Amino acid sequence: MDFFNEIMKFGDIFESQETIDELKDISDEIKKYDVYDVLARISGLNLMPHNQNKSVLLDSLIAGIICEEENTYNSTYKMSAGKFKKLIGKINETNLALSIDPNENAFYQNVMLMDNYTVFNGIDNTPAYNLQMLIDILFNYENDFPKEYNQKIGRLMMLILGLSEEIARKISIKECEIASDEGKYVVIPDSEKVKEYAECVVFDEQRIQLFLKDYSDLLEEIIMPFGSGNVGSMNNRPFYSKPFVRNCRDNTIILLNVSLLPNFLFFQALKIASEFGIKDKVINRYNNYVWRDCRKSLEALGHHKIKESMLGIELINNAYYKECIVNVYNNQLMLTVFVCDDACNGVQREHNKKLNNGLPILHKVPPKRDYGRYFCIMAEKGGTSHGGLTEKLSPFFHAKKQEVNAYGR
């Protein structure tokens, strides 16, 4: 039994055909109204800390709307506040609400690229950290990446981070009370607040064009067209790689979810790297940099690397999987495993094999070290991977009363 694949199947329970049909009925109802106004209002709800963990619901509705052909939305009639509240209430009643977990992340964090910028974390584990590590290897340390590549991705990052910071300032994020909500339903403020949040996610397209004038192809890379016919899944909506839609009626673009921006920049950095033939090089540099940073953090916590050769152990160190053994207190050891995805979500089975390989290593630990730890660091790049123990490894830890730590970065 592949434990990780079984976990992935749970998404089908929450997004069954019944749920998809319910979302289709809701999007059909929206055809009576100004679709761009409705999209902006839905997206604006992500700017409330109460809704940080509700993007599963909001994103599903957005995906259902934009998968339809744009010419099916001809109305310019504005939806009333009461009708909009009922529409969101219908999403809250779907099975998708059962998939919502209590929020565990900071609502926003800063990243630095020549200046400080605010980014919104949403439900992803460490988007701000991941983006900062990427910025560091591209712009803060010497590298041999093509100058044209750094200039192009740098221009896009400055635009997107600027828009994120602009939104944060408009809602006075650093002055408002961050009140997390552990419920499973989207919270709707009064109509004036809904309007205010909606205005924050709408930008003048000409302004964006001027900023990207030297890289006009990037504009189409950020705009998701209507009519794909595909709503995707809970883990991957089509607009996650293009988080804006164009409103041709008034020449504006609408940001569909502010918390997508950090991962979107990571995605684009690798996509553009592919165009320059350096994707693997960027990924390897990133993995090595994060591994070094994690090692520094362990050192700061008092977990120092020991010479595994003294124990007769040979550790693995390659591009996507690294190991080291560190001390814990005076008489314990911790096997630290660093697992990297390939930015395509395609190496999970190989990761499972590597995690199982930790078993013989711990068997080689001297008998007096009767209490070991297994610490797994996962370097993700916006995909979906899972940390934990496979069925072969789990019994060993429980039988030997080992302590297991899984940490995702």
> How far apart, in whole angstroms, are the C-alpha atoms of residue 355 and residue 348?
10
Please list the rounded mean pLDDT of every run of 10 residues in the chain (409 residues). Answer: 43 70 86 95 94 89 92 93 92 81 84 93 86 94 91 95 96 74 82 95 94 89 90 86 93 95 93 94 91 89 84 79 81 79 53 50 47 56 43 33 36
- Residue 406: predicted pLDDT: 36
- Residue 53: predicted pLDDT: 87
Query: What is this structure's pTM?
Result: 0.82
- Residue 310: predicted pLDDT: 78
- Residue 1: predicted pLDDT: 42
- Residue 249: predicted pLDDT: 92
